[in-house]
Amino acid sequence: MSRPVGILALQGAYQKHVDSLSRLGMTSQLIRKPIELDDCSALILPGGESTTISLLIQEYGFYDAIRSFSADHPVMGVCAGLILMAEKVDDDRVTPLALMPFKATRNVYGRQVHSFSADIKPAFTETGFRAQFIRAPGIENISENIEILATHEDKAVMVASGKHIAMSFHPELSDSTAIHEYWLNR
Ligand code: GLN
Output b/e per residue, 154-169; b: 16+ Cβ within 10 A: eebbbbbbebbbbbbb
Name the residue of 135, 139, 173, 174 to mutate for ligand 1: max ligand atoms within 8 A of Cβ.
135
pLDDT score of 112 more than 60: no
On the 0-12 / 13-18 / 19+ scale of CB atoms within 10 A, 100 is buried
- At residue 21, φ and ψ (nearest 5 deg) are -70, -40
The per-residue pLDDT for range 75-111, each reduced to its tens digit, is 999 999 999 999 999 999 999 999 999 999 999 986 6
Q: Does residue 128 contact residue 83 with C-beta atoms inside 8 Å? A: no
* CATH of region 5-185: 3.40.50.880
Check residue 17 and give its pLDDT. 98
Check residue 111 and give its pLDDT. 62
Distance 34 CA to ligand 1 centre (A): 23
Check residue 109 and give its pLDDT. 85
The per-residue pLDDT for range 8-62, each reduced to its tens digit, is 999 999 999 999 999 999 999 999 999 999 999 999 999 999 999 999 999 999 9
Check residue 126 and give its pLDDT. 86
Distance 2 CA to ligand 1 centre (A): 31
Measured from the CA of 91, which atom of ligand 1 is nearest? 4
Tell the residue nearest (CA) to atom 5 of ligand 1: 80
Asked which of 35-49, 62-76, 122-136 is least confident by mean pLDDT, the reply is 122-136
**Pocket residues for ligand 1 (CB within 6 Å)?**
47-50, 79-80, 83, 106-107, 134-135, 137
pLDDT band at residue 1 under the 50/70/90 scheme = low
Distance 1 CA to ligand 1 centre (A): 34
Task: State the Cα–Cα distance between residues 137 and 125, nearest whole angstrom.
Answer: 23
pLDDT band at residue 127 under the 50/70/90 scheme = confident
- DSSP code, position 33: S
CB atoms under 10 Å from CB of 77, counted, come to 29
Average pLDDT over residues 157-168: 97
Q: What percent of the chain has pLDDT over 70?
A: 97
The β-bridge partners of 105 are 138
**Rama region for 153: left / alpha / beta (φ>0; ψ in -120 to 50; rest):** left
Name the residue of 79, 93, 174 to mutate for ligand 1: max ligand atoms within 8 A of Cβ.
79
The β-bridge partners of 8 are 31
Name the residue of 107, 169, 170 to mutate for ligand 1: max ligand atoms within 8 A of Cβ.
107
Active site residues: 79, 170, 172
Check residue 160 and give its pLDDT. 98
For the chain, what is the radius of gyration of the CA atoms? 15
Distance 27 CA to ligand 1 centre (A): 26
State the pTM of this model.
0.96
**What are the residue boundaries of the structural domains of the chain, listed by start?**
5-185
Mean predicted lDDT score pLDDT of the chain: 95
